[in-house]
Structure 1
Amino acid sequence: MSKASNRSNKSNLQVLYEDNHIIVVNKRAGDIVQGDKTGDKPLSDVVKDFLKDKYDKLGNVYLGVVHRLDRPTTGIVLFAKTSKALPRLNKLFAEKKTNKTYWALVKNKPPKSQDRLVNWLKKNPKNNKSTAFDNEVEGSKKAILNYRILKTLDNFYLLEIDLETGRHHQIRCQLAKIGCPIKGDLKYGFPRSNKDASISLHARKLEFTHPVKKEKLGITAPLPNDALWEACES
């Protein structure tokens, strides 16, 4: 996934919310949140460039990474703009005091219209993939999500997912386990890739308490510019 057109830059960055302490952006499918072995410019650096330009900053821009999304996934990413906000946000996420809602498109109809999935996920670092088990195995971590069918399209089902835990590739892995791999997700069993190398998983909403103002915030990320996603909103 190296198409520059599928990545954010300081000119096209989609900012959903910003104040003195935090900035929330809508991640594109090609964005990597933090730097990795690919050497591609991470979204964190793009946001720094954006802030540097916007406020004519001469020195370094402070930006703290609070959480991540898988590279082929789209949607909400929250960053801290101050050293005061970062540890407070880290604590919110660690203590599961945030509500994260995802939308996913799957080809196969789930066994139930809504369900709570409980599995034990084990990550294989060699192929960067998790496997879901029905019972605990050595090195596995408990993973829980709730899903419901939000909409039935001509050939796909739109699922809304709320996470109770945050595990490696959790949604991708648990949905594949029930026979519903996400559209475009070759790694977890979908037969074809999406044209832009994305997978049809979108971090749709994030609800949390502002780390400094202490007020409740609810932010929704617009869906990708794609005919199938647009059908989900119509």
Structure 2
Amino acid sequence: MNIPILYEDNHLLIVEKPVNIPVQEDNSKDADLLTILKQDLKVRYQKPGNVFLALVHRLDRPVGGAIVFGKTSKAASRLSDMIRRHTIDREYLTVVHGRPKQKKAKLEHYLLKDNRKNKVSVESAKHPNAKKAILEYEVIDSKEGLSLLRVKLHTGRSHQIRVQLSTIGHPIYGDQKYGQKLNQPGQQIALWAHTLSFEHPVRKEPLSVKSAPPETFPWDLWRFM
């Protein structure tokens, strides 16, 4: 599998995750991104034994785009700390049904994950196990009953963007889990990890990478991307 490399040095590996593959091994036993990349590093650099590569954040299986891995334990530890402190800017592009009333807004919900069903629900802030989820969105453009949004995550909850946008009445195009009433089986979810920006964990220099969505519907409605 050809995985596009967006940035690589001795400490980091940032790639463009293909859609519909898990980031790490799961119960499906399908080929996963972490294993594929470890094997690629082993071959490219002719490394004996096991290759170190650390997963520090995740993307849902159907979602594609930019994702960063740590190639050393020092880099991985610092990246994980940056994720916890929300100092890595993660920006997504998504296409939703309809047009949100507000061009820009911050959404705050309390989310609860059912691990057995692998589904997330919005709960009261008083629920003992619900976790606060915050994102900001901006409507870039609307056409043909769909809207292109830029989304910035402030927290990294499971299925967060999908659940929060569905909750305000604008499910993501192709999302079978949180938009069954508007989406058709077989449609690909239109959610893409577009930008990662952060301070290099070792060199302390600013680093930013971008990954463009595929030129397929509904992304191709916006040719400027």
TM-score (norm 1): 0.90
Query: Equivalent residue for 2:170?
Result: 180
The C-alpha deviation readout for 1:156-192, integer Å capped at 9, x for no partner, is 1001111111111111000000011111111102432
Match for residue 33 of structure 1 among 15, 23, 27: 23
Query: Equivalent residue for 2:57?
Result: 67
Query: Equivalent residue for 1:113?
Result: 103
Paired AA for residue 192 in structure 1: N
Aligned length: 223
Query: Equivalent residue for 1:3?
Result: none
Match for residue 194 of structure 2 among 179, 182, 204: 204
* Paired residues of 2:176 and 2:185 also in contact (CA < 8 A): no
| 3-state SS of paired residue (2:220) | helix
Paired AA for residue 80 in structure 2: N
Cα drift, residue 135 of structure 1: 3.8
Query: Equivalent residue for 1:149?
Result: 139
Partner Cα separation in structure 2 for residue 45 and residue 60 of structure 1: 11
Q: More displaced, 165-174 or 127-136?
A: 127-136
* Closer/same/farther in 2, CA of residues 91 and 233 from structure 1, 3 Å limit: farther
Partner Cα separation in structure 1 for residue 107 and residue 59 of structure 2: 20
Partner Cα separation in structure 2 for residue 136 and residue 209 of structure 1: 36
Match for residue 67 of structure 2 among 63, 77, 82: 77
Partner Cα separation in structure 2 for residue 53 and residue 40 of structure 1: 21
Partner Cα separation in structure 1 for residue 52 and residue 128 of structure 2: 40
Cα drift, residue 127 of structure 1: 1.2
Partner Cα separation in structure 1 for residue 98 and residue 116 of structure 2: 29
Query: Equivalent residue for 2:127?
Result: 137
* Paired residues of 1:35 and 1:41 also in contact (CA < 8 A): yes
Query: Equivalent residue for 1:54?
Result: 44
Query: Equivalent residue for 2:216?
Result: 226
| 3-state SS of paired residue (2:106) | strand
| 3-state SS of paired residue (1:145) | strand
Ranges of 4+ aligned residues in structure 1 off by more than 4 Å:
none
Q: Does residue 13 of structure 1 match 2:16?
A: no
Structure 1: tracts of 5 or more residues without a match: 1-8
* Paired residues of 1:151 and 1:158 also in contact (CA < 8 A): yes
Paired AA for residue 114 in structure 1: K
* Paired residues of 1:111 and 1:178 also in contact (CA < 8 A): no
Q: Does residue 94 of structure 1 match 2:84?
A: yes
